[in-house]
Amino acid sequence: MGISERKEREKAELRQLILEGAMEVFLEVGFENTSIRKIAERIEYSPGTIYVYFKDKDEILHELHHTAFDRLMEVMEKTAVHAEPIDQVYAIGENYITFALENPQLYELMFVLRAPMKAINPECEWEDGWRTYNYFKSVLIKAVEKGQLKLVDPEVLCVTFWAAVHGLVTLYLRERFHNLPQDQVEPLMRHSLRELVKQYQSPPNH
Amino acid sequence: MGISERKEREKAELRQLILEGAMEVFLEVGFENTSIRKIAERIEYSPGTIYVYFKDKDEILHELHHTAFDRLMEVMEKTAVHAEPIDQVYAIGENYITFALENPQLYELMFVLRAPMKAINPECEWEDGWRTYNYFKSVLIKAVEKGQLKLVDPEVLCVTFWAAVHGLVTLYLRERFHNLPQDQVEPLMRHSLRELVKQYQSPPNH
DNA sequence: TGCATTTTTGAACACTGTTCAATATATTTG
DNA sequence: CAAATATATTGAACAGTGTTCAAAAATGCA
């Protein structure tokens, strides 16, 4: 029976079409203005159809958040070209900021908005987030083992660095750096990050 | 003419009543579920009345955000009991985290949500935020001058510390620390902060 | 009391996420 | 091929949202 296989394929294709339309609308008009009706109109289906393929809007946003993580992971893995872990730490931080500033909507979906998290089973893990977290932590551990970072608990290091860059980009994206001269904000953010990592670097031993 | 004075007083009182009702509803049901109709119902007026006293919903949220800053400012100023600026830096950081965790709704209004910022004239300054920012910066400057913090540009110090604690609490409030053992998250956050400030402290001279 | 102002109202508009009986299409059976 | 069945899609309906504005109610003044 090749028919049921074709049907499954078609279902998967329509599901994908919905996600693509959703991503287009989302990137164009932002989270607050993305509606099911707009997505439906974009792909020329009725609003009701979308609910055959997705439980609710949160599930759609969770899927978009998932593909966003794939992109961030790519950006992070590119830093593996650096031979020294400490150089990779700097590179990950810089790329993280760049990613957030270049993809503000995606960034908010991944780390700010509540919606995509609501689609996650409370028991279950936040796999997407954890993948990137653990990648970064593994680099930090290597840097500590090589004596390039001070002997601080890697969990603490990881949370601190992550929170710092997350804080920088979200304060910026949500316009809380409004009073700083706008053309100096991005350099300031990047300077802040470099200085931060520097403070945690091991001092040259005598 | 005492009548027009009384009328003005009554108008101010109703405005205040709306804000109090709005704050009640907001704290009870959160930002996403706060509606003009619910506020109106709470104070037993019709929805239309609210629009006589406020331009739109954002203006109401901006007012709430304003009183929230008054509370945070109180909490910060209490740290002035510390004689040494460096002690005050630690205390401000700790109180900031405590404030955010005890008043999550208010915190999001102040530093996360877009709504209250939309009510601000784009030309104008974000006074509420700037008041607290400058207070913190002045303490940092004192700590640097006293040789308690390393000679880092106070602006960089200020942005870094602020971003770090903001990052910690927002990742927590938006459930991005979901995978960490929940009972260890708050201690971890506070540990992260202490370690951070420690790194920026001046080494003992000679 | 009658008139003029001010204040308050609530229906109406255009949206939102979501549901579900009815319709349309596609597949299988006789 | 035609009828019956199964699947897919629809769009009206529901309860909610922020906001507006003509009408109604309340108040002040002569």
pLDDT in tens, A33-89: 999 999 999 999 999 999 999 999 999 999 999 999 999 999 999 999 999 999 999
For residue A192, tell me if it sits in a domain: yes
The CATH code of the domain that includes A158 is 1.10.357.10
Domain check: are A143 and A50 in the same one? no
Examine the domain organization and report whether B99 and B48 are in the same domain: no
**A72 located within any domain:** yes
User: What positions of strand C are covered by protein, i.e. any atom < 7 Å from a CB?
Assistant: 6-12, 15-21, 27-28
The answer to whether residues A92 and A150 belong to one domain is yes
Report d(CA B162, CA B196) in Å as an integer: 11
Residue B33 included in any domain = yes
3-state secondary structure chain B: CHHHHHHHHHHHHHHHHHHHHHHHHHHHHCHHHCCHHHHHHHCCCCHHHHHHHCCCHHHHHHHHHHHHHHHHHHHHHHHHHCCCHHHHHHHHHHHHHHHHHHCHHHHHHHHCCCHHHHCCCCCCCCHHHHHHHHHHHHHHHHHHHCCCECCCCHHHHHHHHHHHHHHHHHHHHCCCCCCCCHHHHHHHHHHHHHHHHHHHECCCCC
Q: Are residues A10 and A85 in the same domain?
A: no
Q: Does A129 touch chain B (CB under 8 A)?
A: yes
pLDDT of residue A206: 64
Do A139 and A187 reside in the same domain of the chain? yes
Residues (pLDDT < 70) of chain B are: 1, 206
**What integer pLDDT is reported at residue A117 of this predicted model?**
97
Tokens 């405590």 — which residue? B98
Q: Which residues of chain B have a CB within 8 Å of the CB of A199?
A: 150, 199-200
The answer to the question of residue A61 being in a domain is no
Helix (H, G, I), strand (E, B) or coil at A21: helix
Pairwise CA distance, residues A189 & B115, whole Å: 24
Q: What is the pLDDT along chain A (206 residues), one digit of tens a residue?
A: 576 777 789 899 999 999 999 999 999 999 999 999 999 999 999 999 999 999 999 999 999 999 999 999 999 999 999 999 999 999 999 999 999 999 999 999 999 999 999 999 878 899 999 999 999 999 999 999 999 999 999 999 999 999 999 999 999 999 999 999 999 999 999 999 999 999 999 987 76
Same domain, A48 and A90: no
Looking at the structure, tell me whether residues A26 and A74 fall in a common domain: no
pLDDT of residue A145: 98
Q: Does B30 touch chain A (CB under 8 A)?
A: no
pLDDT of residue B122: 78
Clarify whether residues B195 and B168 are in a common domain. yes
Confirm whether any atom of chain D, the nucleic acid strand, is less than 7 Å from CB of B59: no
Measured CA to CA, the distance from residue B109 to residue A84 in angstroms comes to 42
Domain assignment of residue B61, yes or no:
no
Domain that holds residue B89: 67-200
Please tell me the total count of domains within chain A. Answer: 2
- The pLDDT of residue B206: 63
Give yes or no: residues B46 and B73 share one domain: no
- CATH number for the domain including B15? 1.10.10.60
The answer to whether position A59 is within a domain reads no
- B142 and B181 housed in the same domain: yes
| pLDDT for res A6 | 77
Residue A99 token pair? 């990613």
Predicted pLDDT of residue B98: 98
**Structure confidence at residue B2 (pLDDT):** 76
The reply to whether the CB atom of residue B49 sits less than 7 A from any atom in nucleic acid chain D is: no
Are A71 and A111 in a shared domain? yes
Residue A206 covered by a domain: no
Nearest CA in chain B to A153: B192
Q: What residues of chain B lie within 8 A of the CB of A162, using their CB?
A: 167, 171
Cα–Cα distance between A149 and A86 in angstroms, integer? 7
Same domain, A38 and A81: no
Assess whether B14 (CB) lies less than 7 A from strand C.
yes
What pLDDT, on a 0 to 100 scale, did the predictor assign at position B21? 98
Cβ contact B179–A114 (<8 Å)? no
**In chain B, which residues have their Cβ closer than 8 Å to the Cβ of A165?**
163, 167
Tell me, yes or no, whether A181 lies in a domain.
yes
